Structure 1
Amino acid sequence: MNKILIVDDEPNILLSLEFLFKKEGYRVFIARDGEEAMGIIKENGPDLVILDIMMPKVDGYEVCRYLKKNHKNVKVVFLTAKSKQQDIQKGMEMGADLYLTKPFSTKDLVNKVKGLIN
């Protein structure tokens, strides 16, 4: 069973994505900030991380940097409100496998995640 970590400081997004991916048969972990996310990554080694950028304590860029340095095989999907071209470029340059902006289509997100880890 593939493991997904969802990292976002918005409870509604965490709850809806957790439900959605569990329904799709994934083992799902959630974190409310980057600091919590790094602890879960160390303990559970997810296959894919869905990552917001703007979060308290440790932002998504820092989590992505940590992943690319220490867990190179983990896929990274940025899911963020930061939609400027320079934000997207920075995310991709940091090693994101996918960069999606909010608002987003859940169906599209599920299909793209399946394409990355199946």
Structure 2
Amino acid sequence: MTDILIVEDNEANMRLARLLLVNAGHTVLWAADAETGLTLAREKQPALFLMDIQLPGMDGLAATALLKQDPHTAHIPVIALTAMAMKEDREKTRLAGCDAYVIKPLRYKELYQVIDTLLQQSTPPLT
């Protein structure tokens, strides 16, 4: 089983993402805000992040940038979850350090494909 951390403030979106991940055999960690997500990321070292972009307080782009700057979490792939589907939005997520981009509402086949691809490409940190 792979640990995946979801950072999502919308309860319905969180429930759907958790259900999809559990059904795919993953263990799910979750946070409703970026600050809690950052703390969990450092403590639990998940294999992958699903990061909502529009979060209360610190947004998902700022949180991703912090994750990618931290040597303890920089290696972990981040999938941006967003309802924003414009080309410039995709570019913003890439510049923040996101490794992939999935548009909400979530489509399970797309989500599973992106997760599988990133987990196969991911390399563990050097210790």
- Residue 123 of structure 2 corresponds to which residue in structure 1? none
Deviation of 1:25 after TM superposition, in Å, equals: 1.4
Counterpart-to-counterpart distance in 2, 1:106 and 1:10: 18
- Residue 74 of structure 1 corresponds to which residue in structure 2? 76
User: What residue ranges of structure 2 are gaps of 5+ in the alignment?
Assistant: 121-127
Counterpart-to-counterpart distance in 1, 2:116 and 2:20: 13
Segments of 4+ in structure 1 off by > 2 A?
none
Range that drifts further, 42-51 or 81-90: 81-90
Q: Secondary structure at the residue paired with 2:106?
A: coil
User: 1:25-68 deviations in whole A, cap 9, x for unaligned?
Assistant: 11110111111111111110111100111111211011101111
Counterpart-to-counterpart distance in 2, 1:111 and 1:84: 21
Counterpart-to-counterpart distance in 1, 2:81 and 2:62: 15
Q: Secondary structure at the residue paired with 1:43?
A: helix
- Residue 15 of structure 1 corresponds to which residue in structure 2? 15
Counterpart-to-counterpart distance in 1, 2:15 and 2:25: 16
Letter in 2 for 1:77: I
Q: Give the count of matched residue pairs.
A: 118
Q: Secondary structure at the residue paired with 1:30?
A: strand
Letter in 2 for 1:86: E
- Of 92, 104, 107, 1:105 maps to 107
Q: Secondary structure at the residue paired with 2:53?
A: coil
- Residue 85 of structure 2 corresponds to which residue in structure 1? 83
User: What residue ranges of structure 1 are gaps of 5+ in the alignment?
Assistant: none
Q: Secondary structure at the residue paired with 2:50?
A: strand
- Tell me the TM-score normalized by structure 1: 0.92
- Residue 64 of structure 1 corresponds to which residue in structure 2? 64
Letter in 2 for 1:21: L
- Residue 119 of structure 2 corresponds to which residue in structure 1? 117
Question: What is the aligned-residue identity percentage?
Answer: 31
- Residue 6 of structure 1 corresponds to which residue in structure 2? 6
